[in-house]
Amino acid sequence: MKKLTIVLALSIILIVGVSAGAAAQDIKIGLAVSTLNNPFFVDLKDGAEAMAEEMGIEILTVDAQDDAASQLSSVEDLLIRQIDVLIVNPVDGNAVVSAITAANDAGVPVITVDRGAEGGNVASHIASDNVAGGEMAGDFIAEQLGETRKVVELEGIPGTSAARDRGEGFNKAMDKYPDLEVIARQPAAFDRAEGMTVMENILQGNPEIDAVFAHNDNMALGAMEAIEAAGRNMAATVAQKPALMGEMSVEIAVKVVNGEEVDEYTPVPLELITE
């Protein structure tokens, strides 16, 4: 049986104590998450809340359910509740600027996590190097295929830094391997059901596909459902460690509230997992 390679979401499928300053108990953090319908962001939330509990900090979490207008409204609600610092995981990098500006105007420092913002005053951004992750996935596919093959890219939500950067890294890798042809690039909104539908449509017109790169695991799992009858398996995933992102965002938030210097960008380690 012909083997197919899928690379997921930053996943690859081969288809085959608090520092000096404000007391911890006096700090109130607002955490605005893009969606809790995605296990990745549930892990991020859980990591942030666990760290806040460990540090004795109050944290208020809101879920935008992938709606930019809802995220703005929920951030405004957090500001009314007098949070000391806002951690935001944007639904959309451009649309979130209004929410960040509202926090800036209220004198509340802002930290972005996983996805970046296209404007506003952000004290620190905490994320994996998505460009590096995308390139890592592309290199892995090339190593596994090693000859002229057809590849598909399932893209995330347009306007998010994660989709843009993962795609940039992946296609940077593809440029190094002229024998690999990307025959389709289609968005599937970081969503499992859309990943399945898009993959079904692609397979109808292109039955001979050797690898798929998806910008997140949800889409990759949906793609796997679409090709399940072919008996293929996930070959690898580029793990981004969302729980660690959440933990780090809380730690950095406390430093910001206490007036400590923080880096504009804090990278979270990536790991290629093949077993």
Sign for the CA dihedral angle at 64, 68, 69, 73 comes to positive
Q: CA 10, CA 166: separation in Å to the nearest integer?
A: 7
Tokens coding 118: 């296209």
**Residues 102-131: what's their mean pLDDT?**
96
So what's the pLDDT on residue 147? 79
pLDDT category, 16, cuts 50, 70, 90? very low
Q: Where are the beta strands (DSSP E) in 97-245?
A: 110-113, 124-128, 149-155, 180-187, 211-214, 236-239
The phi, psi pair for 146, rounded to 5°, reads 65, 10
Residue 49, CB-side half-sphere exposure with 13 Å CA sphere: 12
Kindly state the percentage of the chain with pLDDT values over 70. 88
pLDDT tens, position by position, 195-210: 999 999 998 888 888 8
Task: Enter the pTM of the model.
Answer: 0.78
pLDDT category, 273, cuts 50, 70, 90? confident
